[in-house]
């Protein structure tokens, strides 16, 4: 455990050692603001809730989370420090988990900085704060899923751009799996089971359940297993890359 | 020296990358107190072997034991007693020197008072006091190498694996690093890979030459030098006027294989007399000198040079592969 926290602290400090962290946080807050108030018609809807805010999160994360994830391993591969890190007396899974947690905590910090939106909606009306807490939880879990995908691709290559592009494409597939246009491709010819399997893989359908305030165990298990499976893949990829 | 228990034991170590055998059946035992120089041409398998010793790469076959811990079965314990400077001394460029060494100490579970003591000690040992607050990325190559060394020794490892520790350093820095290695050698097993042969003579108590993944020579630097064709060769410089045709006389001496002559600009000739199978011919040569009454300017015996041995043992490659 202590080894994991050493890695987490080093990685988190790594985000803040360069302007990356500040750029990310500013862009994240700007985009959430634009999406919520401009595209999401926060005020015009006249509803005291944060649906307009949360609904855009999958699309926001599609680009921002791979940007956070891409450096996790690629940077080490490029500098050759993978060899240093993986010959320290810590198990490889500690490095995988530590790096993931650092990225997740960082996204968590960015998410916490959106709290003024929550305060605003409380000032304007009386929203169901339980639903909003669920929304934040769902958003954080979904970000974890995106991040685990990004970390895995980062482990594959020393090129951050390649890691970024592959992660965005994969995350995109996991978003659109639940969109009607994609599902329509399957309905009609594919068995019902396949259609529902594809739909159940979607980040969005699981996320929307939570955002509406319904914390279904299946949704939680879905995100948890996404994170675990992609991190296992991450560990395997890093191991294979050593030769 | 060899009576102390082995800190590194390697048996039948091999590593295949596809059909290519990078390391092909290496057996090696290194006791404490020994500084082993690992020599070989580029691509001979030095780095691959070191990566397996440190547990970074899994061997295709064979076993490695570090201070009694099997690298495959007890990797974390083995790594705990091992310090490693990977090839090129990779470091985190964004971290400061102090931050980086602190991180290494933390991961190696050196805590509290002892952490402060150890960090102070290594910073002093490798001379990093001036750059502690600087990001590693901004340091010169020499400083970076020193940071790499510092992280390798912060936990006082009993086994130290250094892949080209002086590569890219200037002569003063090389001297400093070698001094440090010698000072640390007392009760540790140190393996350094290098292709600088003078370094082997300067710091190593034992040299192992590997080529194409196999050990082809193993001994003290002096033993290896004895395998040079120039070992026990005699260099003789005499006035050309006195010994115009000394080549023939020298060749006729017992035990002489061949003689080369360099004409020096100042009227002297320098002869290099090479013996058959390194037998001692100094007596015969000086006898001849006395007999002829040459006025000798130089007369000395060559110990043999490591580069000659190195080339003799590993130089087959070009000719061998062309055939």
Same domain, B52 and B167: yes
- Answer whether residue B311 is part of any domain: no
All residues of chain A having their beta carbon less than 8 Å from the beta carbon of residue B60 are none
DSSP A35: I
Asked if residue B316 is part of any domain, the answer here is: no
Whether residue B69 lies inside any domain: the answer is yes
Q: Is A242 close to B57, i.e. CB distance below 8 A?
A: yes
Residues B190 and B215 in one domain: yes
**Mean per-residue pLDDT over chain A, rounded:** 89
Contact A17 B95 (CB under 8 A): yes
Any idea what the CATH number is for the domain that residue B279 is in? 3.30.70
Q: Percentage helix, strand, coil, to 5, in chain B?
A: 35, 30, 35
Note whether B141 and B190 are same-domain residues. Answer: yes
Model pLDDT, residue A155: 96
| Residues B213, B242 within the same domain | no
Enumerate chain A positions whose Cβ falls within 8 A of a Cβ in B: 2-3, 6-7, 9-10, 13-14, 17-18, 79-81, 83-84, 86-91, 242-243
Instruction: Give, in order, the Cα–Cα distances in Å from A83 to each of A101, B54, B219, B265.
Output: 21, 9, 30, 55
Residue A104 clears pLDDT 80, i.e. is over it: yes
Q: What is the tens place of the pLDDT at every residue in B116-174? A: 999 999 999 888 999 999 999 999 988 999 999 999 999 999 999 999 998 878 888 88
State phi, psi for A151 to the nearest 5 degrees.
-65, -40
Does B307 fall in a domain? Answer: no
Task: Tell whether the model's pLDDT for residue A3 goes beyond 70.
Answer: yes
Q: Tell me which long-range contacts A53-56 makes (C-beta under 8 A, separation of at least 24).
A: A53/A114, A53/A117, A53/A135, A54/A135, A54/A138, A54/A139, A54/A207, A54/A211, A55/A208, A55/A211, A56/A32
B4 has a pLDDT exceeding 60: no
Q: Does B99 touch chain A (CB under 8 A)?
A: yes
Band of pLDDT at residue B322, cut at 50, 70 and 90: very low
Transcribe A193-223 into DSSP letters: HHHHHHHHT-HHHHHHHHHTT---HHHHHHH
B239 and B218 share one domain: no
* The last residue of a domain, from among B176, B201, B225: B225
Rounded Cα gap, residues A215 and A132, in angstroms? 12
Answer yes or no: is pLDDT of B317 > 70: no
Of B82, B90, B108, the CB nearest to A79: B90
Tell me the CA end-to-end span of chain A in Å, nearest whole number.
27
> How many other CB atoms are found less than 10 A from the CB of residue B255?
16
Q: Tell me the torsion sign for CA atoms A158, A164, A166, A171.
A: positive
Residues facing residue B167 across a β-bridge? none
Give the CA radius of gyration of chain A: 19
Say if residue B287 is in the same domain as residue B181. no
Q: Tell me whether residue A104 is exposed, middle or buried, using C-beta atoms within 10 angstroms of its C-beta: 0 to 12, 13 to 18, 19 or more.
A: buried
Residue to mutate among B93, B107, B154, B164, with most A CBs inside 10 A, is: B107
Residue B323 lies in a domain: no
Question: B217 with B239, same domain?
Answer: no
Number of domains in chain B: 2
Q: What is the pLDDT of residues A59-82, one digit of tens each?
A: 999 999 999 999 999 999 999 999
Residue B314 lies in a domain: no
Contact between A88 and B51 using a beta-carbon 8 Å cutoff: no
Cα gap B291→B297, rounded to integer Å: 16
Of B51, B82, B107, the CB nearest to A6: B107
ipTM > 0.95 for the complex: no
DSSP B181-193: HHHH-TTSEEEEE
Nearest to A90 among B56, B57, B107 (CB): B107
Any domain includes B253: yes
**Cβ contact B108–A17 (<8 Å):** no
Same domain, B128 and B160: yes
Interior angle at CA A37, CA A31 and CA A42, nearest 5: 135
* Together in a domain, B150 and B292: no
Domain extent at residue B244 = 234-302
The pLDDT tens digits of the residues spanning B223-275 come to: 887 777 777 888 888 887 776 777 777 888 888 888 888 888 888 888 888 88
Does residue B168 share a domain with residue B57?
yes
Residues B214 and B286 in one domain: no
- Indicate if B155 and B285 belong to the same structural domain: no
**Average pLDDT, integer, range B177-189:** 87
> pLDDT digits over A15-45, tens only?
888 888 899 999 999 998 888 887 777 777 7
Domain boundary among B196, B225, B254: B225
Q: Which of B197, B225, B253 is the C-terminal boundary of a domain?
A: B225
* Residue-level pLDDT at B71: 94
In a domain, B146, yes or no: yes
State both tokens at A63. Answer: 């680009």
Read off the CATH number of the domain in which B220 is found.
3.40.50.300
């Amino acid at each position: 455990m202590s080894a994991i926290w050493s890695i987490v602290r080093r990685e988190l400090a790594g985000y803040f050692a360069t302007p990356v962290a500040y750029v990310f946080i500013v862009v994240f807050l700007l985009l959430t603001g634009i999406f919520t108030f401009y595209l999401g018609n926060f005020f015009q809807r006249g509803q005291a809730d944060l649906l307009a805010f949360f609904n855009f999160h999958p699309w926001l994360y599609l680009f921002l989370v791979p940007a956070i994830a891409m450096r996790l391993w690629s940077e080490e591969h490029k500098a050759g420090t993978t060899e240093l890190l993986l010959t320290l007396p810590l198990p490889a899974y500690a490095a995988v988990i530590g790096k993931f947690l650092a990225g997740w905590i960082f996204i968590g910090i960015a998410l916490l900085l959106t709290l003024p939106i929550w305060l605003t909606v409380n000032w304007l009306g009386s929203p169901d704060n339980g639903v909003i807490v669920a929304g934040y939880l769902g958003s954080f879990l979904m970000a974890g899923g995106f991040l685990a995908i990004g970390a895995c691709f980062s482990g594959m290559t020393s090129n951050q751009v390649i890691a970024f592009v592959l992660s965005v494409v994969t995350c995109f597939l996991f978003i659109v799996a639940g969109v009607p246009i994609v599902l329509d491709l399957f309905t009609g010819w594919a068995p019902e089971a396949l259609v529902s399997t594809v739909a159940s893989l979607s980040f969005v359908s699981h996320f929307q359940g939570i955002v509406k305030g319904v914390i279904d165990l299946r949704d939680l298990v879905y995100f948890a297993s996404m994170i675990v499976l992609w991190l296992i893949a991450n560990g395997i990829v890093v191991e294979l890359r050593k030769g | 020296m060899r009576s102390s228990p082995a800190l590194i034991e390697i048996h039948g170590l091999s590593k295949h990358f596809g059909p290519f055998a990078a390391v092909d059946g290496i057996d090696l035992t290194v006791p404490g107190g020994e500084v082993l120089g690992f020599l070989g041409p580029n691509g001979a398998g030095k780095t691959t072997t070191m990566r397996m010793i440190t547990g970074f790469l899994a061997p295709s076959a064979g076993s490695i034991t570090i201070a009694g811990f099997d690298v495959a079965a007890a990797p974390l314990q083995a790594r705990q007693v091992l310090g490693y400077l990977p090839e090129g001394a990779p470091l985190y460029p964004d971290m400061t020197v102090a931050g980086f060494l602190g991180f290494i100490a933390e991961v190696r579970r050196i805590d509290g008072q002892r952490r402060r003591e150890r960090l102070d000690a290594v910073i002093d040992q490798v001379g990093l006091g001036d750059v502690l607050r600087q990001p590693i990325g901004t340091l010169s190559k020499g400083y970076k190498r020193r940071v790499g060394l510092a992280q390798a020794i912060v936990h006082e490892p009993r086994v130290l694996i250094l892949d080209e520790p002086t590569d890219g350093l200037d002569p003063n820095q090389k001297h400093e690093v070698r001094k440090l290695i010698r000072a640390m050698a007392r009760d540790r097993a140190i393996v350094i890979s290098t292709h600088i042969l003078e370094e082997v003579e300067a710091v190593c108590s034992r040299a192992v030459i590997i080529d194409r993944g196999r050990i082809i020579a193993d001994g003290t630097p002096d033993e290896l030098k004895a395998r040079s064709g120039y070992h026990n060769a005699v260099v003789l410089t005499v006035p050309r006027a006195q010994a115009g045709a000394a080549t023939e006389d020298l060749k006729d001496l017992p035990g002489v294989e061949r003689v080369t002559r360099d004409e020096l600009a100042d009227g002297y000739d320098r002869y290099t007399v090479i013996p058959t199978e390194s037998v001692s011919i100094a007596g015969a040569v000086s006898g001849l000198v006395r007999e002829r009454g040459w006025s000798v300017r130089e007369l000395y015996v060559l110990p043999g040079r490591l580069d000659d041995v190195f080339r003799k043992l590993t130089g087959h490659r070009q000719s061998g592969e062309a055939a």
